Amino acid sequence: MLSCDHLVILEVITLPKQTFFNLDVKKRKTIEMFALEEFSTHSFNEASVNTIIKKSKISKGSLYQYFDDKVDLYLYLIEISAQVKLEFLKNCEPNTKFDDFFEGFTQLMIKGSEFDLCNPLHSKLLYHALNGPLVDKSLEKMKALSGQYLLQLLKTAVKRQQLREDVNLELMVFFLNTLATEFAKYAAAKAGVDYFGDIYHPQNIGRIKKLDLPMIVEELMKLIKDGLAPVNN
């Protein structure tokens, strides 16, 4: 749930074989849709290639004419989801100002939440990718890039005297990254929805949308800004 930079991929993670692009657009989108559904609702190890094949109405041999293996397909989907989120946040970015660190990060959290609600399958796939067992070097770059972006924001905030000079920036990067990636789970739980279950069902998305997410995020940022200790009068 960070800015565009959180999702920029420095180099192409993977590409399907040319035979995949030789398919008509409708067929490619069908395979992508059912693969996205399977990988976003299951861990990588639990996701079934056979289910994807069956729903897409193709043979196993055909799938492996398009992708080298299951990992190849998975990484391709991650790239698609990252680009979808990137485009969403790019459209929001002109309205996100970092003149004040806390206000800026609040806006990023809110926009990230909006993306998750509008694109739950993409959001869950990215969550699995960055927190699952199959975190390869390319995905580590995504994490590292997010950390670099946040670190720069924090350093700028310190220079502007919006943060204390003694703040452990490395620890804050870890904290804010975790906060951003876990917030969707909190919102789902608060709405009584299973994040790893049927969160993408329209009825459940509707329940989450009823939450006042901007208010929740603002309260969260206020907690970070003011701290947990009682104010001494």
The pLDDT of residue 232 is: 65
> What is the average pLDDT across 128-139?
65
Record the pTM.
0.68
Q: 178: how many CB neighbours lie within 10 A of its CB?
A: 11
For residue 50, is pLDDT > 90? yes
Higher pLDDT, 114 or 22: 22
Helix, strand or coil, per DSSP, at residue 138 = helix
Mind listing the domains of the chain with CATH numbers? 12-225 (1.10.357.10)
CB-based contact 44:23 (threshold 8 Å): no
Q: How confident is the model at residue 68 (pLDDT cuts 50, 70, 90)?
A: very high
> What is the average pLDDT across 119-141?
72
The pLDDT of residue 2 is: 38
Q: What is the Cα–Cα distance from 104 to 156, expressed in whole angstroms?
A: 12
Higher pLDDT, 174 or 199: 174
